[in-house]
Structure 1
Amino acid sequence: MTDTHIFFVADGARLDWQSWLLAASLAQAHAGQPGVHLYAYAGADWLPQIGPVTRAIYSETGVELRPLPQAPEWAKPYPHGNKIVAATDRRGDGRGIFLDTDMICLKPLTALAALPDTHVAAAPEGRPTWGPDDRWQRAYDHFRLPLPEARVRLLRGKRPEHLPYFNAGLIAMPEEVGPDGKRFANHWLETALDFDHRCAIAQKRPWLDQITLPLTMARFGYTAHVLDETWNHSLSHRGDSIVDTPDVHILHYHRCMFLEAAPQWPGILSRFFDLVPKAHHAAARDGLRELGLTVGL
């Protein structure tokens, strides 16, 4: 069976607190699943500040804490680029799956490991947050690429068809080295840096990762495997339409108020405290409250 390497970035207090819930949910969703490996990445400045609650949760969930590789020279500071930097770390052959920390895993992600080595999987973005089309034309022109004929259907509002554009909160990528000696993550970082420094185009941030994801696929011959909404189910701004959908793999909550409105939340919180050693319950409650969640005594 192909190994599944699931990783996230927990660099800083807020991401650290979010990672507690993510790590617990990943461990619970993949209990008994062979070949699943979990990783958390933190920068050199944050690693010494990681406290006993985080370390205890990572120990209980089997998360390997790793230093974030050194950031490249972006044109301007770009914290979102940490996901690309983390992706370049070598974890082993198989399928790498990056997750944002503001996510809860409800079902195993191992089916994504069965994709061909040339496929990169992600769900479309909800809305066309970067554009319009003439800006995309310039982006593809920068790399001397034709504008794609393929379209994806965005997942929110009127769900329009759009040039390939994906939410970068969940990306499943091959870990194998290609014929040029590089992995997908190296190609993505190379593309993002080139676009950041050399393409004179407006409003790259914070969407640089999402802009360059389809550009990387087009440059290096990867196939976009378009996931449906169950793989990256956004809870934000749904109002009364936040419902318990049993086929969802990932809840992407963005803000605590949306997570607390989800019918799955009481069970998520209960299972979290079932996993955390009781000696750390009080400190864990404090951290979740700092994050913005309502947690009882």
Structure 2
Amino acid sequence: MTDPKPARQAFNIVAVVQAGRLQYEALLLAASLRATNPNFAGKLYLAEPQQGGAWPKSVAVTDATVRAMLLELGAEFLPFEAVHFGQSYPHGNKIEALAALPDQPFLFLDTDTLITGDFDTVEFDFTTPAASMRREGSWPAQELYGPDLAATWRALYDRFGLAFDGTIDPTQPENYWQRFMYFNAGWFFHASPKAFGARFLDYALAIRDDRPEALICQEIYPWLDQIALPLVIHSFGGGRPGAALAGLDGAVTCHYRTLPLLYARENDRVVEVLEHVAGRKDLRRILRDHEPARLMIYQNRGRKVRALFDRDDLPRREQAIRFVLKREGLWLR
């Protein structure tokens, strides 16, 4: 008789919610989590920036029906104050929200994420953080007369007293962007949101306000969070995700970005989960107020998008997919 497998460590999920597009994405996130992980042991926190500080105008979810549905789906609103970024850099919400979380293992997800499988199949080690590798070479740019990519990244690691050479992927060509540790900030995790968030904030502010000379010609917006993230992960002993985390950006989570992109490039399981949860009568009544959901899901334009692309032979760059969608009048954000 074999011993039973030990229970997976419980953790919380956090996403940032605001009025508008994010509130509808949060509904799909919460509904898909409930549908695929009915016994999820943690909490789903929806971090909501409060008016004041770096958000002079309220961005709270004021639609009572939406708030009630999110609560019914098991989400818990988590108010936080944005002091350093806010309206000037909304991506910074994911950095500042971490301080408001209970100091327990967490997984951050962008709201434009669907849960499509069982989290028990993901072998998290929350002491060794990682982040999403579903990204393109968006940063840094190779300046004509400036430092090469290696020198740019090395300057950042040196700035924070971190060892750079061990982060290199030697299987990639010299000065090619994938040789350097670069993540999409659509998901990341750690054992302590307090410690991780404090360091994330310190590094992001230092890059913004006192960048190394090698970065003088580099544009840091909107990529500031993704510039700081690999440094933070490396500082806590983490790195690129291995096979144990394959379910993230795989069979368990899908960071779809926009509904037209979902229909264009994601597998049948993702579409199945999306249309299943969006088909709930109580959700359909709300989601029909969101134009991308109304057109893509309920008016079946998503199926037209799907017919335009071969999922086994997609364009290498997202920009090419967007071009086709815009040409066909099927691009929505």
Report the Cα distance in structure 2 between the residues aligned to 1:52 and 1:288, rounded to whole angstroms: 19
- CA spacing shift, 1:36–1:276, aligned 2, 3 Å: farther
Residue 164 of structure 1 aligns to a residue in which SS? Answer: coil
**Which amino acid in 2 is paired with 1:207?**
W
Q: Deviations over 1:253-288 (max 9, x none)?
A: 1122122334235522443245553xx633322225
Match of 1:223 among 235, 238, 246: 238
- The CA deviation at 1:227 is 4.3
Match of 2:89 among 73, 78, 82: 78
Report the Cα distance in structure 2 between the residues aligned to 1:32 and 1:227, rounded to whole angstroms: 26
Report the Cα distance in structure 2 between the residues aligned to 1:292 and 1:253, rounded to whole angstroms: 17
Give the superposed CA RMSD: 3.1
- CA spacing shift, 1:87–1:288, aligned 2, 3 Å: farther
Match of 2:184 among 141, 161, 167: 167
Q: Contact 2:106–2:192 (CA<8 Å) still a contact in 1?
A: yes
Q: Contact 1:18–1:102 (CA<8 Å) still a contact in 2?
A: yes
Q: Could you say which structure has the larger radius of gyration? A: 2
Q: Contact 2:259–2:293 (CA<8 Å) still a contact in 1?
A: no
Q: Contact 1:148–1:163 (CA<8 Å) still a contact in 2?
A: no
Q: Contact 1:57–1:276 (CA<8 Å) still a contact in 2?
A: no
TM-score of the pair, normalised by structure 1:
0.78
Unmatched segments (≥5 aa) in structure 1: 177-181, 234-246
- The CA deviation at 1:87 is 1.8
TM-score of the pair, normalised by structure 2:
0.70
1:32-181 aligned within 5 A: 32-33=39-40, 35-44=41-50, 45-47=58-60, 49-67=61-79, 69-74=80-85, 77-93=88-104, 95-110=105-120, 114-117=124-127, 119-131=128-140, 132-152=149-169, 161-175=178-192
Report the Cα distance in structure 2 between the residues aligned to 1:137 and 1:291, rounded to whole angstroms: 47
Q: Counterpart of 1:241?
A: none
Q: Deviations over 1:97-149 (max 9, x none)?
A: 000111111113355574152x1122324322212222112212222333232
- CA spacing shift, 1:143–1:20, aligned 2, 3 Å: same
Match of 2:32 among 25, 33, 38: 25
Unmatched segments (≥5 aa) in structure 2: 1-6, 51-57, 141-148, 301-333
Report the Cα distance in structure 2 between the residues aligned to 1:120 and 1:222, rounded to whole angstroms: 7
Residue 93 of structure 2 aligns to a residue in which SS? Answer: helix
Q: Counterpart of 1:237?
A: none
Bigger shift: 268-277 or 95-104? 268-277
- CA spacing shift, 1:76–1:267, aligned 2, 3 Å: closer
- CA spacing shift, 1:289–1:167, aligned 2, 3 Å: closer
Report the Cα distance in structure 2 between the residues aligned to 1:249 and 1:41, rounded to whole angstroms: 22
Q: Counterpart of 1:193?
A: 205
- CA spacing shift, 1:288–1:113, aligned 2, 3 Å: farther
- CA spacing shift, 1:216–1:281, aligned 2, 3 Å: closer
Report the Cα distance in structure 2 between the residues aligned to 1:273 and 1:184, rounded to whole angstroms: 34
Count of residue pairs the alignment pairs up:
268
